[in-house]
Structure 1
């Protein structure tokens, strides 16, 4: 039916132009009567020779079957139109919201522009004659008398949204006040808005009165201030207690500073007459239901849509018309969320269902029909408007079926018996039968026909050891079932042979329709997923595994110790034996403060791994009576152990325990304390360096002073330097070590190797103790070197030579702290050999070496392990007595120097003789002087020249030509001879 409102009866004051009046902005119906409003329909007023148009607002009402609409506007006073303005009812915008009052068969209409936009709310009872409608409203007096308990402020917008509400047993109206006018009022607690007022009839003067004011809780004040709390309203019984509850939409709500216009809804529950009939409670932690994205404006529209799923609880639809569905390209398409009622109240966000338009419609969810009856006459459908696309979509509700199904094992499975054929394994396997049954029942019948529904029950095994007759771990079975008729099937479950471990084996299953059903849906309360544990036969005199009396004992032997910082792991041999009833699901657990990695397990039937508690867990499986399990377990500690070497004991403390699902008759025999020693294999390398110099030459005729007489160190003898190196080549630190230097201080009480300065030690903290008078007692070197911590004390000399006049040694003891891995320490001693002592004692050649030696002892190893034996090293400086012993071997370098000197001298003599003319003399040349070799090399032309020269010589005889003439004629012109 299409109704042209231009031809409908309008009041004479209404402007004849019908455009831009907002007709249809609100609409309400009781199933027979319809009210549709145009809140911007305006009246014409002439004042001061000017024509004004007052947006009073007007509604049209009609009843079936004629649907002849007549307009009415209670705020308009035709008698006093000249006095109307925004200060009274001249800008009411009557009909901006409309709702049918269910129990009273009247209509509630909001007028938020009355009284300088404080607002008003009307209750209208329709009559055949629009002039005789039954009217009630709050009016101006409610603001003037202070009944709203607030300051005299403007712009509260009372009546922006209205809804029917049965409160404390009375039929009433809920009307929203979505704004506050002054933030200071909010902090003082005097602000009226944002809030919801419950209006009931005042029988004394046929007006409306405020029975209750509902405001959001204080914790939400900061969020709700500009959220437009009350933009939309809905009333429904969410929990089935017979009392209507209130849902308030706030589409501009933001949950954080980083989000905008998410939107939210608030729920207020009636307490009931048993407690306080005039009180409503806001649900905890409100709001619990919010928009998931910014700018979605969730809560712009609310609608009580009836009991869609037939569970006896009313459901709610919430529109989010600017919601972005999938991508930014879908911005503003909008969605509708369905919240189902339940005994606990309205469902939460995680249970809501989302409806979106296909194809995309902009503004989808801007309006939703309240309790739209189904075309089939039973239940409700859902109508949603999309204002941006000028479209209304009607979604047909489906029949809801409650599905009841179960899985039941028949008997118990015995893993020790192979009774069924496993074609995949080509052998017999343990097996058991599983009965699966299903029945369904319609909860909201919309169609009287009884059709068969197809269901799929999908079964799957949690453990790979179980499978079905299709030889897979998943099986899908189809059921064709009529309503209220139970159907069952027997399915076979098989197990792999040889399962010894008794543990939890589970079959999972879920049910769904075998194909897409357009008419039905499974009830959300139906259990669609189930699991069933496999019953297992046990072999003992008890009814379950825990009653089996096992008697497990075990022993261990440590085959290999762990060697610190090496690849050698700790190897332990375990022997486990059960002397009682079967022990099911047996495990050997190893606990320790240290964390280990499993290096190897020498038994293919034993699986060891690290569990979540960082314990080593070795699965032994089922241990029957007299069963034995032997295996070797190799463990190596993790890096965490290496960081505690300075405090760790020299062994690993471990607790090994055998556990089982069966009872242990002697639990003490199933647990052992293990102390596994840790080997520390390492030492310090003591490396001697060559003496500097390697030998010294002693000449008894040379004059040297004694140490007492000398003024400088050079006067007592040559310098000798001994150097030792200490190297930690291990992969770990050595915590403490002592170095003892044995120094040849004197011979027969006279200084031998006079130590010039303290030990020179490379960058390593140390502490050394020196005997008194050892280091430069006569201060021949004024800037005696000091390093580390030095102390001097008297010590008895140690005689280590042979005979009466052997070197007397004194000990220098140095202690070192931690020596890191790879660290090298250099220890040097600089001294002077006192030649005067050798001469005065007339030792001859009895002292051939000036030798020092050192002992190195590690005093503290990692893990307090026993240190290795000490190491020693000696450096010798040879003393040469060449003049004292002719048989002494002359060094090779002396031969080389002498030879080179002789050759140099000979060359000088030859040059001098040549310069003096010793070699400048001529000898007579004869033909015999010409060598045969020269004749052999003469050419024919050369021979002719020689003959001619001989002839010329016969004519003029001169001094014979010598073969050396060309080399000497320039320097020996005075040696020419002439024949007489």
Structure 2
């Protein structure tokens, strides 16, 4: 060290060995004169235009596990302040020596060296290659929210370069993704803010070595549907060339979806009734009552968002405009229901026109047939009840109960009347529908409930009179034909043939009769 001043000065310094050592490892070098410490102090006296040196001997510990981190020595120095000396008041004060310092630098010098080792790459660069894959439950292409199952994150770390010292892996994901555990014992992980930081217990990953690490993750049940990004990054404390850093990171997309499997079931009580009895005249024309019950069950793993159930029942008997069935009351265990006003207008009549005698006769002697009265989607001839059930959690059900009344007189209209009339109602789950965030297992699940109306086969009064008259006419015709046939067969004629023997036959008296000659004598 050269000092361009004529005065002398003492420079004090602190020398520290192995400044870059890892905090989890002891210092690899120490100074023997100061025990086991890695630091020492000293001073040198400078002279004008002379190089002054001080030598220190350091020792390497026996067991050194970190041969990858460079060894750096650091010396910080300062100039000792000279003591004040007495001098004449007239003489000039001696100048204080100063140390030259460049802008932005301090009075610190460093020296760095590396352990000698055999390397395959330039500058002993490592080359970490990371690949990752998400394994979702049931091998689906999406993760169904609320299914209660974990996600398997499979990663593979390959070192294609030189030995990698302190390899580590970090996971970063949103807050509604939770880390459960790592499946490999040789890997330890700590949960940090925004992710997980993992390290390998073997301290180093040798060259051309492959390591498989699997993680278990979970998703918060209250999460919203969407695509979630999970990033995985691998790094180490070794130098890695910039062109090798491109495959150190893997980004995965986790599709979160609502997996909905909604079913609907329905039943009615009673299931059948008999119509066509003219002798009974009820006070209320809507004399038949029915109770419909529909159950909507979510069997899917996720909640059904904004569930809607539409129930349709035949409103009239085509081609007539008379009201057949009316809804008197409805209740829902969840949400609200209301009647749709987008249906055809019907006549609220109880006194319907009578069917002609000829039509009644034709119907009575016709073959018994069945007619189905059903509703199509958005059918204006049907009464439509729309129920907004809201969110239906997984495994939960909602019940809709409907009370209806039916006018059996409408079923007697002809044409249109049949021996068996089947009144079918249909319930369809119209929401949720499949979109970018919802996967529906069954498209438009529906339930059909039927009520059978059986004609009693009792002839009306007009038909009874017709049968009696026709029977009498047929009976008279049969009697006339029978008499005619008997007359033709000669049943009404007697034939008496008197023979000569019958005229001359003797009396039945056993007394013999005398000849005429004898009697005369």
TM bin, normalised by shorter chain, reads: 0.5 to 0.7
Q: How many Å separate the matches in 1 of 2:122 and 2:166? A: 11
1:871 aligns with 2:441: no
1:748/1:772 CA distance change after superposition, 3 Å:
closer
Alignment of 1:455-466 (within 5 A): none
Quote the residue 2:248 is aligned against. 670
Q: How many Å separate the matches in 2 of 1:847 and 1:503? A: 93
Quote the residue 2:168 is aligned against. 587
User: 1:419-442 CA deviation, whole Å, 9 max, x = no partner?
Assistant: xxxxxxxxxxx996744424xxxx
Quote the residue 2:317 is aligned against. 747
1:622 aligns with 2:204: yes
Alignment of 1:254-265 (within 5 A): none
1:831 aligns with 2:404: yes
User: 1:388-430 CA deviation, whole Å, 9 max, x = no partner?
Assistant: xxxxxxxxxxxxxxxx999868xx99xxxxxxxxxxxxxxxx9
Q: How many Å separate the matches in 1 of 2:349 and 2:327? A: 8
Instruction: Identify unmatched segments of 5+ residues in structure 2.
Output: 1-12, 39-56, 72-112, 138-142, 351-368, 376-381, 460-521
Cα displacement (A) at 1:679: 5.2
Of residues 111, 134, 158 in structure 2, which corresponds to 1:577?
158
Q: How many Å separate the matches in 2 of 1:504 and 1:779? A: 101
Of residues 371, 390, 403 in structure 2, which corresponds to 1:818?
390
1:859/1:677 CA distance change after superposition, 3 Å:
same
Quote the residue 1:695 is aligned against. 272
Question: 1:408–1:436: 8 Å Cα contact kept in structure 2?
Answer: no
SS of the residue corresponding to residue 837 of structure 1 reads helix
Question: 2:424–2:448: 8 Å Cα contact kept in structure 1?
Answer: yes
1:501/1:681 CA distance change after superposition, 3 Å:
farther
Question: 2:152–2:214: 8 Å Cα contact kept in structure 1?
Answer: yes
Of residues 323, 327, 332 in structure 2, which corresponds to 1:756?
327
Cα displacement (A) at 1:764: 1.0
Alignment of 1:793-808 (within 5 A): 805-808=371-374
1:549 aligns with 2:125: yes
Question: 2:183–2:214: 8 Å Cα contact kept in structure 1?
Answer: yes
Quote the residue 1:846 is aligned against. 419
Q: How many Å separate the matches in 2 of 1:778 and 1:838? A: 15
Cα displacement (A) at 1:769: 2.8
Question: 2:370–2:419: 8 Å Cα contact kept in structure 1?
Answer: no
Q: How many Å separate the matches in 2 of 1:431 and 1:631? A: 31
1:492/1:756 CA distance change after superposition, 3 Å:
closer
Alignment of 1:180-219 (within 5 A): none
1:553/1:768 CA distance change after superposition, 3 Å:
farther
Of residues 186, 194, 201 in structure 2, which corresponds to 1:605?
186
Question: 2:421–2:454: 8 Å Cα contact kept in structure 1?
Answer: yes
SS of the residue corresponding to residue 735 of structure 1 reads strand
1:566 aligns with 2:147: yes
User: 1:515-550 CA deviation, whole Å, 9 max, x = no partner?
Assistant: xxxxxxxxxxxxxxxxxxxx98474669xx996423
Cα displacement (A) at 1:694: 3.4
Question: 1:550–1:583: 8 Å Cα contact kept in structure 2?
Answer: yes
Alignment of 1:420-459 (within 5 A): 434-438=30-34
Question: 1:594–1:652: 8 Å Cα contact kept in structure 2?
Answer: no
Q: How many Å separate the matches in 1 of 2:132 and 2:418? A: 68
Question: 1:745–1:807: 8 Å Cα contact kept in structure 2?
Answer: no
Question: 1:431–1:493: 8 Å Cα contact kept in structure 2?
Answer: no
Q: How many Å separate the matches in 2 of 1:847 and 1:778? A: 24
Cα displacement (A) at 1:734: 1.9
Question: 2:146–2:303: 8 Å Cα contact kept in structure 1?
Answer: no
Computed over aligned residues only, the root mean square deviation of the Cα atoms, in angstroms, reads 4.7
Q: How many Å separate the matches in 1 of 2:235 and 2:339? A: 58
Q: How many Å separate the matches in 1 of 2:306 and 2:341? A: 19
Q: How many Å separate the matches in 2 of 1:704 and 1:735? A: 49
SS of the residue corresponding to residue 836 of structure 1 reads helix
Q: How many Å separate the matches in 2 of 1:826 and 1:846? A: 34
1:735 aligns with 2:308: no
SS of the residue corresponding to residue 185 of structure 2 reads coil
Of residues 256, 260, 269 in structure 2, which corresponds to 1:682?
260
Q: Which has the higher contact order (CA 8 A, sep 6+)?
A: 2
Size of the alignment, in residue pairs?
351
Alignment of 1:268-279 (within 5 A): none
Cα displacement (A) at 1:675: 0.6
Quote the residue 2:216 is aligned against. 634
Cα displacement (A) at 1:730: 5.9
Of residues 293, 300, 313 in structure 2, which corresponds to 1:723?
293
User: 1:109-128 CA deviation, whole Å, 9 max, x = no partner?
Assistant: xxxxxxxxxxxxxxxxxxxx
Q: How many Å separate the matches in 2 of 1:595 and 1:628? A: 31
1:818/1:653 CA distance change after superposition, 3 Å:
farther
Quote the residue 2:43 is aligned against. none
Q: How many Å separate the matches in 2 of 1:573 and 1:844? A: 69
SS of the residue corresponding to residue 667 of structure 1 reads helix
SS of the residue corresponding to residue 715 of structure 1 reads coil
Q: How many Å separate the matches in 2 of 1:538 and 1:846? A: 104
Question: 1:599–1:635: 8 Å Cα contact kept in structure 2?
Answer: yes
Q: How many Å separate the matches in 1 of 2:304 and 2:405? A: 34
Question: 2:170–2:232: 8 Å Cα contact kept in structure 1?
Answer: yes
Question: 1:747–1:808: 8 Å Cα contact kept in structure 2?
Answer: no
Cα displacement (A) at 1:674: 0.8
SS of the residue corresponding to residue 866 of structure 1 reads strand
User: 1:945-980 CA deviation, whole Å, 9 max, x = no partner?
Assistant: xxxxxxxxxxxxxxxxxxxxxxxxxxxxxxxxxxxx
1:811/1:844 CA distance change after superposition, 3 Å:
closer
SS of the residue corresponding to residue 296 of structure 2 reads strand
Question: 1:591–1:655: 8 Å Cα contact kept in structure 2?
Answer: yes
Q: How many Å separate the matches in 2 of 1:633 and 1:658? A: 14
Q: Give the alignment's TM-score, normalised by structure 2.
A: 0.55
1:759/1:504 CA distance change after superposition, 3 Å:
farther
Q: Give the alignment's TM-score, normalised by structure 1.
A: 0.31
Q: How many Å separate the matches in 2 of 1:874 and 1:828? A: 15
Quote the residue 2:86 is aligned against. none
Q: How many Å separate the matches in 2 of 1:503 and 1:882? A: 101
Cα displacement (A) at 1:598: 3.0
Q: How many Å separate the matches in 2 of 1:729 and 1:832? A: 33
SS of the residue corresponding to residue 440 of structure 2 reads coil
